[in-house]
Amino acid sequence: MPSVTSLLHERFGSDTDSPESGECVQSVHQQLARRGSVRKFRPDAVPDRTLRRLCALALCAPTKSDLQQRDIVIVDEPSLRAQILGPLAEGPLGQRWLVDVPNLLIFCGNNRRQRRIHALRDRPFANDHLDAFFNAAVDAGIALSAFVIAAEADGLGVCPISAIRNEPIAVSRLLRLPDHVFPVAGLAVGYPAEEPKRSMRLPLSVTVHRNAYSETGLDEAISAYDLRREMAQPYSTQRSWKEFGMAKSYGWSEDKARQYARAERADFGQFVRQIGFKLD
Ligand SMILES: Cc1cc2nc3c(=O)[nH]c(=O)nc-3n(C[C@H](O)[C@H](O)[C@H](O)COP(=O)(O)O)c2cc1C
C-alpha cells in the first residue's frame, strides 16, 4: 500500500511533504488520499440499513449554528430513479453512466424547517436574504462530503451528480420538494465495478494560502499542472472539438475553459427565487 505522503505527492505535485501520522489516522488519511469517484457499479443494490447508517453518519457532520438545514432523499423506487436520471443520460451531452446507477440519494438544502420553527415559536424570521439559501446549500455540501467519506470507508463507490440541477423544477416535482427546499446534488452509490482513478489536483501553492490570499506564480503553476496531468492522466477526448478544434496539447485548463465557455444551469438562480428565496 503506498504511503499517504506518496499518494498526496502523486496528486498535488512536490509541495506536500508532511510527516506520516499514526496508524489509525493513517488509514483515514490513506482512504482520503486514495479516493476517486466511481461511475461503474455492480448491479446489486446497497442494503437499506447500510444507506440509513451512512445517512446518519453524514448528518453527524458540522452544521451552521446547529440549524440542520439539510436533508437526504433516498430514491429507491426504480421508476422514480429512472425518471430523474434517464433524461440526464440522453442527448449529445448526456452522461450515459447514470442509466446504471444502482442507488441514488439526493442531498437537499432545507430552509423550510427553520421558517416553520419561527411560525411555531411565533418569532419573526429576520434572515430572509442570501444567507438563508447559502447556509442551507453549504450544509448540504458538508453532509454530502461526510457521506462520501463514510461510504468509501465501507468499500462503496460514489459519485456526486450536479446534473440533477439541470432540471431543478422537474426534479423538485418528482421528489415533491416544497418551497425553500432545493436539490444541491445527487449521489450515485454502489459496489464499485472499477478501480477509481486518482485524479490529480492543483498544487497547494495555488489552493492553500498563508495569512493572505496570493496569486503569485498562478499562471506558471497552472501550466505546470496542465503538463503534469497531461503526461500522467491525458484526457481521452477533447471537449467540444467541433467548436474549438483539436488542440495539440490538451490539459486541465483547456478542458475547464472549454467546459465553461458554455452556459451551464444559467436558470438556477431563477429557480431558487421561484421557490421563495430572496438572494439580496
Ligand atoms: C457537487 C459535485 C457535483 C458533481 N457532479 C458530477 C456530475 O454531474 N457528473 C459526474 O460525472 N461527476 C460529477 N462530480 C464528480 C467530479 O467530476 C469529480 O469529483 C472530479 O472530477 C474529481 O474527481 P474525483 O472525485 O475522482 O477526485 C461532481 C462532484 C461534485 C463535488
| pLDDT of amino acid 91 | 87
The answer to whether residue 111 sits within a structural domain is: yes
Pick from 171, 195, 196, 190: which is nearest to 54 by CA? 190
Residues 3 and 91 in one domain: no
> What's the gap in Å between 73 CA and the centre of ligand 1?
19
247 lies in some domain: no
CATH of the domain at 100: 3.40.109.10
Q: Which grid coordinates belong to 148?
A: 462520501
* 250 within some domain: no
Q: Residues enclosing ligand 1, CB less than 6 A?
A: 36-37, 39, 95, 159-163, 185, 196, 199
Nearest CA to ligand 1 atom 27: 36
121 CA distance to ligand 1 centroid (A)? Answer: 40
The range of the structural domain enclosing residue 172 comes to 36-195+263-274
CA gap 102, 1 in Å, rounded: 29
The tens digit of pLDDT for each residue in 164-213 reads: 999 999 999 999 999 999 999 999 999 999 999 999 999 999 999 999 99
CA-nearest residue for atom 29, ligand 1, is 160
| 3-state secondary structure at position 103 | strand
CA of 273 to the centre of ligand 1 (A): 26
Pick the residue whose CA is nearest to atom 9 on ligand 1. Answer: 161
Q: Using the 8-state DSSP alphabet, how is residue 167 labeled?
A: S
Is pTM, for the whole model, over 0.85?
yes
User: What pLDDT is attached to residue 143?
Assistant: 98
In a shared domain, residues 6 and 127: no
194's CB contacts (< 8 A; 6+ apart) are: 38, 39, 40, 157
Maximum Cα–Cα distance for the chain, whole Å? 64
Output the CA 159–ligand 1 centroid distance in Å.
6
